[in-house]
Structure 1
């Protein structure tokens, strides 16, 4: 077990992505600031979790605790899949965006946890004095015996009705399940999904269905900017999409009731029978209402490059 006692909150603890290491000011082997009686690095605590160990943090944590915990990160030499992870115990409060992209492992928190949360859900605790959180993806795909608090799990369907704002819901989901959210969601929901269905009754934040690689994401309200970016497969269906959609998408389908602005290689497509059937299934839309939807898909006519103009703007141009 690693014990980490903090004088002040620290951001990005137990962050599997090592996002900060892209900055010249940080490296993975940087010693975590503000420790009492120890000199642990960011890399050490992630490696401990990868080995199934426990990281016990005494004190409040900052933003993005356990980012992508349990994910085998491709840009760090991983396979992009899910691996087992250990346990985080926090004697204190936890800042916003805890568990963004988290796909395995367990988190125990003695204090408060700030919204928005990531891909985590509170379940019945087996440790007195602590609230227990697990990954939504892990709960549905591997741990159906856990009992959610203030939400409903029946077989392969989870209904999130606790009005807690979450992001990256169903991140890297690879099992055939259904998640229904009765309210709004935060950024990145449906991130890297491979299977399953995510239905959002309200609005969704930025990067909805980003890197979607299968499955279906349905937003009955609005999607924030960059919806469907880098899509490889699957469906994103929404009432309205803000900003540009489909940036650098490789495949898959985007259906929007209101006309959307598109970013190459996304292009306008023609509705097919399968599209209409999905709209009827998830939105109870008749044929006439279905035909009002706009379809966007990836162009297979050449590739695109990004060119930086003299004024600093970026332009996408096709390479023949």
Structure 2
């Protein structure tokens, strides 16, 4: 069983800035190159708080129990609400948080969420600076903006990749989706490899990530050399994500185009609510295609599906697709199983009656 919560550190020593970092910590001075006049929002925490800078305000996890207007607990000397932080980032401004942070920092950061009447597309976002440690699921579904973290970061992380930092003493993270569709610019990956010309991101650093390529709307390829956590390809419209290991729950959930391939075991609810696109699985733990609206799911092994998904007949066109994606021979490609919607077709009989037939499309 794929375990997504694996605590680990991103701590490392920057040899070129070791002396500066020592002086900074000893004197408690912040060497931050952004606006030194105080034109940023600063939040000091006495205890870790979950869902900070969370554009969803927790609705994904807690039925929207967090009110946007609720005052953030454990503040020191301020009275900010959850919405205050999000609004600041949506203006393209910076937020500095001092103290350790709980789970789901910057969830869906940079997304103009349809849940709140938005377009569902990426929008500009500011920067988050954290002087402390961050718990798991940082940057899940994040599509733009930057996160700087001084302390340790617990896995799994979200739709993020580390780039070489331009701020002494901080780790710098950018959205994978942002890099795929807009490029690295002046940034350089701290690890991993991105071919700008081919638009191919190879993730080989061994870090467990969720929601990789969330909301991606450009033709690109992400190869994950290892396992993925929950929500790979979430709301993706274009591109391909190829997971060489296992994948967590909700893989390809709400998929709206593009391709997600998992060569290992996939946890429950793969392809749930998918609208378009292609999901290719080796095996799954069940409830595949739950509440799917459209799209197609291929599986090497017989899998447990959920309504309205049904098994469909494989075609030569389907086999060609799998041969292209996986480099298979014809016989092996035709041995895959195909799942999708059995759509209804109305047939008018000679006597005037109408018969509802199931058609495979």
Give TM-score, length-normalised by structure 2: 0.81
Q: Deviations over 1:33-78 (max 9, x none)?
A: 0111100000100011001010100001000000000111111111
Compute the displacement of 1:278 (Å): 2.1
State how far apart, in whole Å, the 2-side matches of 1:244 and 1:226 are: 5
Q: Deviations over 1:166-202 (max 9, x none)?
A: 0000000000010000000000000000000100000
Contact 1:229 1:249 in 2 (8 A): yes
1:110 corresponding residue in structure 2: 150
State how far apart, in whole Å, the 1-side matches of 2:44 and 2:314 are: 57
Q: Deviations over 1:58-104 (max 9, x none)?
A: 00100000000011111111111111111000001110000000000
Which is further off, 293-302 or 105-114?
293-302
1:195 corresponding residue in structure 2: 238
Compute the displacement of 1:270 (Å): 1.4
- Which of 169, 182, 190 is equivalent to 1:142? 182
Compute the displacement of 1:24 (Å): 8.0
State how far apart, in whole Å, the 1-side matches of 2:205 and 2:220 are: 19
- Which of 61, 74, 77 is equivalent to 2:101? 61
- Whether 2:327 is the aligned partner of 1:287: answer no
Q: Deviations over 1:213-272 (max 9, x none)?
A: 111001011111000001111110011011111111111110001111111111111112
Give the gaps of 5 or more residues in structure 1: 303-320
Contact 2:129 2:147 in 1 (8 A): yes
- Which of 227, 235, 242 is equivalent to 2:270? 227
Compute the displacement of 1:144 (Å): 2.7
- Whether 2:59 is the aligned partner of 1:16: answer no
- Whether 2:137 is the aligned partner of 1:97: answer yes
State how far apart, in whole Å, the 2-side matches of 1:8 and 1:71 are: 28
State how far apart, in whole Å, the 2-side matches of 1:25 and 1:122 are: 31
Contact 2:104 2:139 in 1 (8 A): yes
Give the gaps of 5 or more residues in structure 2: 1-39, 346-361
1:246 corresponding residue in structure 2: 289
Contact 1:58 1:91 in 2 (8 A): yes
* Counterparts in 2 of 1:246 and 1:281: CA distance versus 1, 3 Å: same
Q: SS of the counterpart of 1:10? A: coil
Q: Deviations over 1:251-305 (max 9, x none)?
A: 1110001111111111111112332122112222111111111100123239xxx
- Whether 2:45 is the aligned partner of 1:45: answer no
2:202 corresponding residue in structure 1: 159
Compute the displacement of 1:143 (Å): 2.9
Contact 2:57 2:66 in 1 (8 A): no
Compute the displacement of 1:127 (Å): 0.8
Could you say what the CA RMSD is over the residues aligned between the two structures, in angstroms? 1.4
State how far apart, in whole Å, the 1-side matches of 2:92 and 2:329 are: 50
Structure number with greater Rg is 2
Q: SS of the counterpart of 2:42? A: strand
- How many residue pairs were aligned? 302
4+ residue segments displaced more than 4 Å = 20-25
- Which of 158, 165, 170 is equivalent to 1:125? 165
Give TM-score, length-normalised by structure 1: 0.92
Contact 1:20 1:27 in 2 (8 A): no
Compute the displacement of 1:20 (Å): 5.1
